[in-house]
Structure 1
Amino acid sequence: MVVVAWLGLHAIRYWINNQTPPFQALGAEMAIVLVSQAMVFQWVGLYKGLWRFASLPDLWNIIKAGIGGVILASVALFAYNRLNGVSRAVLLLYPFVLGALLGTPRLLYRIWKDRLTHMRLQPQATRVLILGAGESGEACARDLLRSGTYHPVGFLDDSPALKNSRLLGFPVLGRFEDAALMAKQTAAELLVIALPNVGAEEMQRVIGICERSGVAFRMLPKLEDVLSGRALPGELKQVDIDDLLGRDPVVPNWKAIREWLVGRCVLVTGAGGSIGSELCRQCARHGATQILLVEIDELSLMRIEAELRRDFPTLAVVSVLGDCGDAAVMRHAFKQCVPDAVFHAAAYKQVPVLETQLREAVRNNALATHVVAEESDRVGVATFILISTDKAVDPVNVLGASKRFAEMICQSKAAESHTHFITVRFGNVLDSAGSVVPLFREQIRTGGPVTVTDPEVTRYFMTIPEACILILQAAAIGAHDSIYTLDMGEPVSIRTLAEQLIRLAGKQPGKDIAITYTGLRPGEKLHETLFHSEESYKPTSHNKILQAVARELDPALVNAMATSLRTASDAYDLDALNDLLRASVPEFEPGNADGEADNQVIIKFPSRKNRR
């Protein structure tokens, strides 16, 4: 093609001037041009391109190669014969003619291969209507065509400029709101949402449209899910409940997290739990060199240890099977390595269970925190992170009261230690063990009914990765003796959550699956809060993380209460434990008959601009 472009342009130039082209004289020049152009082709990687996937970037690469080639050839020809006999018009037109000669066969080859792909569609291929006619929609259509089992029938998009246009030969049939009508007209059997980068509110709207259409629907995974291994490229995944939270996901400052984590040794208690295991993965993924796993459940410990050794072969993993509330266990763990940071994730968290298991709640949630904090302080751990809960704010149940006392223990330790004691609070975690979402899914799987405690009950929700990002980000911010929480947007109605899960399963609430209301369980609130009314809070360097100023307390009194609680726990004296817990956490007011505290104060996040 280089020969055709160079000699052809010269032939046209001489023909216009009614002259005979001196092809013999052009031979030496041609050799210089060929060598120069070949060197540029090699440099830009043109010989490595796959014609099957030729696209506009490849065409631009060819144009650049032509421009680079003519520049190099001009320099060489100038050195050879001062460009004697070389037409300036040929030099100007050559890159574009060469681009056309090289690009056209590639594009024709790709069109031919794409046509073969269309012809290979199986007769029973599922007819698909794609929502989103952007780059993701185009890539999705190509992937569906290559699979042979799906047949795109068109696109929907809200952009007025795309109406009546065509993409890959398929029409843009209308707006998202037309999904039900267009699915009927095209006999589409599946809707695919190809909008991986839209905000949560827009995603909720699109999913609502798909639900109302009555057609099955799937969506493309987000880029971060693909990169983290939670989804495969091109995979069509079911819409997850976290896609419906109505809140944009937390975007972490990975640079700050990595700078804090790289080269560190960390210890995680409750390492086999939902939060603990994800913390281990995140720490390993972002630079920790050694992780100490402390876990009381042998199966959970074995599972997370095997996963870390498989996925991070260079990571040093040390496992300790035992109760972190046992000082001997923690002393043994710290002999393996003095960690730079301790993540204390071990806790009991089921509200109704702990209402009848006071001793274990106090022992595992509060006294174990006291043990881990003391041992961390004794060996000189740099940072201690307590993973707390929104139920510790104005607690009306044993879980909240025990976790609030754990917060007080960390605050009292911070007053007399060089260790940075940090508390991280968040609301309910989607899909964590024992949470409401797995329960609802199981009830839907068995045909219902789905049981909701109260039609008005609301909760703050976040995903497991988000919770762990919050923990790591708070640790990286690292202010001494601080309480951090996530700006979690508006609380989610549990009734709405149940209805959405039923629809995601392809059924209709109240028709296919019944919803029954059982009443608030012992110790449950209608609404949770993330800050106490006496805690002032302010923004941090991360726009989704808020910092509360801890309330004043007497460290000596907290330590004395911890000693008394331990004595009552050792004696299994439930009456004494109850009295001591009430005295230790003055704001602890067990719920009334309806499960709601009489003195509850509900605090909602102000808008960012109104925060102090």
Structure 2
Amino acid sequence: MCYDVLAVFAASIVALLIRFDLNIKSVPFQYMDEVWRALPFMIIVTLVIFWLLRLYSSLWSYAGALEMMYVVSACILDTVVVTVLILLRNWGDMYPVPRSFYILYGLFLFVLVMGCRYSYRGLRVLRNMRRAGVYRRNVLVIGAGDAGNQIIKEINNSRYVKKKVVGVIDDDRNKIGNYIHGAKVVGDRSDILEKVEELHVHEIIIAMPSATQKQIKGILDICKETGCTLKRLPGIYQLVNGDVSVSKLKDVDVNDLLGRDPVTVDLQSIMDYVSRKVIMVTGGGGSIGSELCRQIAAHKPKQLIIVDIYENTTYDVQNELKVRFPELDLVVLIASVRNTNRMNWIFEHYKPEIIYHAAAHKHVPLMEESPNEAIKNNVLGTWKIVQAADRYGVKKFVMISTDKAVNPTNIMGASKRICEMIIQTYNRRSKTDFVAVRFGNVLGSNGSVIPLFKKQIERGGPVTVTHPDIVRYFMTIPEAVSLVLQAGTYAKGGEIFVLDMGEPVKILDLAKNLILLSGHKPDEDIHIIFTGLRPGEKLYEEMLMDEEGMQDTANNLIHVGRPIELDEEKFMQQLEELKEYVVTEPEDIREYVKKIVPTYHPELAGENK
């Protein structure tokens, strides 16, 4: 405020001097006298206007375009009021001061006020640059649009971000050679490798929130060869919400290299399906089960019941849901689906309307070593909970199955195929709609290949791949669960829904990409070794058996396999025999399982038929 008092005084005197060629002796006395007499009023008016327009309550070290608008508006308003004030004080005198005085006064007041406030910001930027010194990381920003502009601006202005933007990449040729906040647009994507070396880049930020996954993959395929740390903005919604900042950047991961757009579902149909209903999720503490709970909780169920035998992860999910959904009626129960009495009590007490059955042993090599446990948990556990659902009038039962149930070569896949047969059999005998949803591997799930690779890379390698030609279908956990929920809305009973997992991915390519994204070079910094196919593992997975066929649904990523005909009476008798046989802990349950599942061929594990 003291400075602004001086600024009003200086602007008034300079405005008169400029009018008379900077010769103070040539300024007529009456003009100088009028300015002196009006000066106290001018100062009061200026301070009041500046206070009303927030010029004394802004943090000028962070001043931007909005603060500049306030300064411009304050100076224009002040000039108008001062002009009216002087003319009213000298009513009848047409020219108490030269007419140019008003314009010159406003102009110089703006320069003085603006210069003071924005010089503070400039000094702060210089101080931050000095403090950061050699610790600043050179950054190449890809994308010269709105998101790139905001990221560069924040990097330049923040004292906490130890980065320096040394260049910008954009495929728009008209932008090349121009500058964004002092950072030059140095080329298009074909120049990335050259510019990284030339500008000594340490980190690449991909600021393209509106780009498709295919476009992002094209950029990443180049960037991963640079050895730089890669970060990107998660999505376009952040740009729409104005939520673009360095803090929102995420590390590029292997999901971004799948090269397909995220799966979309009809959220309203899911909302109508699960809202105001009692939903139970078995295996709710696992990777798939916990994501089911998150998405169901977001769609306002009447009550959500989580059932799991493993308390640690279940406890974590419980705490997360309590924080994210404080209004949710959440029940968390530790129980085994193999415990008949416990399941009956839960069904009788809570009366679930819809069940998502995700409880299962899923690790193929472990189950090959403990095949009896795979049958007990997967088959008998599913059978018992199916019986409870039938007995207590559950409306819909959705079981999570796997592509390994198709022509299985391992006991886990065979156990899941028996579960599908249970679902189809009971659907014909019950008022409950029983369905199964079959999909492949999910990225990042507990025990999956991606977390394993990451741990191996953190240890410095080697990264272990079972076979150079092994391929798998992949989908992210949220995508798979969204499709499971939507498949439930299509279910009329007896279907085996098959999720479209896109193109199969070579595990070797995943390993190489993860090594590159970690800033290392495959087989130079981190070695890849081949360990051989594990027990029960095959080179590829299938999604449908030949005889099942395929039917489409309203969502082109969800298909329906036609139920395979089976002798239900014989099958139920075999189940009874299996239940009695497995508890005797036989040496090899596989031979008996082959009688129930004719397509089960453990001898073909590892073969690419």
Q: What is the TM-score normalised by the length of structure 2?
A: 0.77
The 8 Å contact of residues 155 and 246 in structure 2, kept in 1 or not, is answered as no
Say which of 134, 137, 142 aligns to 1:126: 137
Match of 1:560 in 2: 573
The question of 1:471 aligning with 2:484 is answered yes
Question: How far off its partner does 1:286 sit?
Answer: 2.0
The question of 1:312 aligning with 2:325 is answered yes
Say which of 155, 166, 170 aligns to 1:144: 155
The 8 Å contact of residues 55 and 107 in structure 1, kept in 2 or not, is answered as no
Question: How far off its partner does 1:184 sit?
Answer: 3.1
Q: Distance in 1 between matches of 2:198 and 2:302?
A: 57
Change (3 A) 1:184 1:117: farther
Q: Distance in 2 between matches of 1:585 and 1:109?
A: 83
Match of 1:586 in 2: 598
Q: Distance in 2 between matches of 1:105 and 1:364?
A: 79
Question: How far off its partner does 1:216 sit?
Answer: 2.6
Question: How far off its partner does 1:116 sit?
Answer: 5.8
Q: Distance in 1 between matches of 2:328 and 2:266?
A: 23
Change (3 A) 1:198 1:223: closer
The question of 1:328 aligning with 2:341 is answered yes
Change (3 A) 1:554 1:111: farther
The question of 1:347 aligning with 2:360 is answered yes
Say which of 248, 267, 276 aligns to 1:254: 267
Q: Distance in 2 between matches of 1:482 and 1:545?
A: 12
Match of 2:517 in 1: 504
Match of 1:192 in 2: 205
Match of 1:523 in 2: 536
Question: How far off its partner does 1:55 sit?
Answer: 6.1
Change (3 A) 1:379 1:155: same
Match of 1:287 in 2: 300
- Match of 1:331, as an amino acid? N
CA distances 1:111-136 after superposition (whole Å, capped 9, x unpaired): 77875664334333322110111222
Match of 1:368 in 2: 381
Match of 1:596 in 2: 607
Q: Unmatched 5+ residue regions in structure 1?
A: 1-47, 64-102, 599-612
The 8 Å contact of residues 226 and 233 in structure 1, kept in 2 or not, is answered as no
The 8 Å contact of residues 454 and 517 in structure 1, kept in 2 or not, is answered as yes
The 8 Å contact of residues 147 and 239 in structure 2, kept in 1 or not, is answered as no
Change (3 A) 1:535 1:113: farther
Question: How far off its partner does 1:413 sit?
Answer: 1.0
Change (3 A) 1:171 1:564: same
The 8 Å contact of residues 324 and 372 in structure 1, kept in 2 or not, is answered as yes
Higher Rg of the two aligned structures: 2
Q: Distance in 2 between matches of 1:421 and 1:468?
A: 18
Say which of 370, 386, 390 aligns to 1:377: 390
Question: How far off its partner does 1:514 sit?
Answer: 1.1
Match of 1:181 in 2: 194
Q: Distance in 1 between matches of 2:334 and 2:388?
A: 17
- Match of 2:272, as an amino acid? E
- Match of 1:401, as an amino acid? A
- Match of 1:588, as an amino acid? Y
Q: Distance in 2 between matches of 1:543 and 1:584?
A: 32
Q: Distance in 2 between matches of 1:348 and 1:241?
A: 26
Partner secondary structure for residue 186 of structure 2: strand
Q: Distance in 2 between matches of 1:551 and 1:212?
A: 48
CA distances 1:155-212 after superposition (whole Å, capped 9, x unpaired): 1011223222222342211012212222333333211111233233322221121122
Change (3 A) 1:111 1:264: farther
Percent identity for Structure 1 against Structure 2: 38
Change (3 A) 1:448 1:185: closer
Question: How far off its partner does 1:108 sit?
Answer: 9.8
Match of 1:243 in 2: 256
Partner secondary structure for residue 545 of structure 2: coil
Say which of 397, 415, 423 aligns to 2:410: 397
The 8 Å contact of residues 293 and 318 in structure 1, kept in 2 or not, is answered as yes
Q: Distance in 1 between matches of 2:500 and 2:111?
A: 54
The question of 1:421 aligning with 2:434 is answered yes
The question of 1:460 aligning with 2:466 is answered no
Match of 1:95 in 2: none
Q: Distance in 2 between matches of 1:294 and 1:355?
A: 26
Match of 1:163 in 2: 176
The 8 Å contact of residues 381 and 419 in structure 1, kept in 2 or not, is answered as yes
Q: Distance in 2 between matches of 1:192 and 1:417?
A: 56
Q: What is the TM-score normalised by the length of structure 1?
A: 0.77
Q: Distance in 2 between matches of 1:113 and 1:538?
A: 68
The 8 Å contact of residues 271 and 280 in structure 1, kept in 2 or not, is answered as yes
The 8 Å contact of residues 270 and 299 in structure 2, kept in 1 or not, is answered as yes
- Match of 1:438, as an amino acid? P
Match of 1:268 in 2: 281
Q: Distance in 1 between matches of 2:179 and 2:170?
A: 12
Partner secondary structure for residue 182 of structure 1: helix
The 8 Å contact of residues 220 and 234 in structure 1, kept in 2 or not, is answered as no
- Match of 1:428, as an amino acid? N
Partner secondary structure for residue 330 of structure 2: strand
Partner secondary structure for residue 434 of structure 2: strand
Say which of 503, 511, 520 aligns to 1:490: 503
The 8 Å contact of residues 227 and 520 in structure 2, kept in 1 or not, is answered as no
Change (3 A) 1:155 1:371: same
CA distances 1:49-87 after superposition (whole Å, capped 9, x unpaired): 99978769x99xx99xxxxxxxxxxxxxxxxxxxxxxxx
Q: Distance in 1 between matches of 2:184 and 2:121?
A: 17
Q: Unmatched 5+ residue regions in structure 2?
A: 1-56, 74-109
Question: How far off its partner does 1:362 sit?
Answer: 0.8
Say which of 560, 578, 582 aligns to 1:547: 560
Change (3 A) 1:111 1:540: farther
Q: Distance in 2 between matches of 1:596 and 1:113?
A: 71
Question: How far off its partner does 1:107 sit?
Answer: 11
RMSD: 3.5
Q: Distance in 1 between matches of 2:113 and 2:483?
A: 48
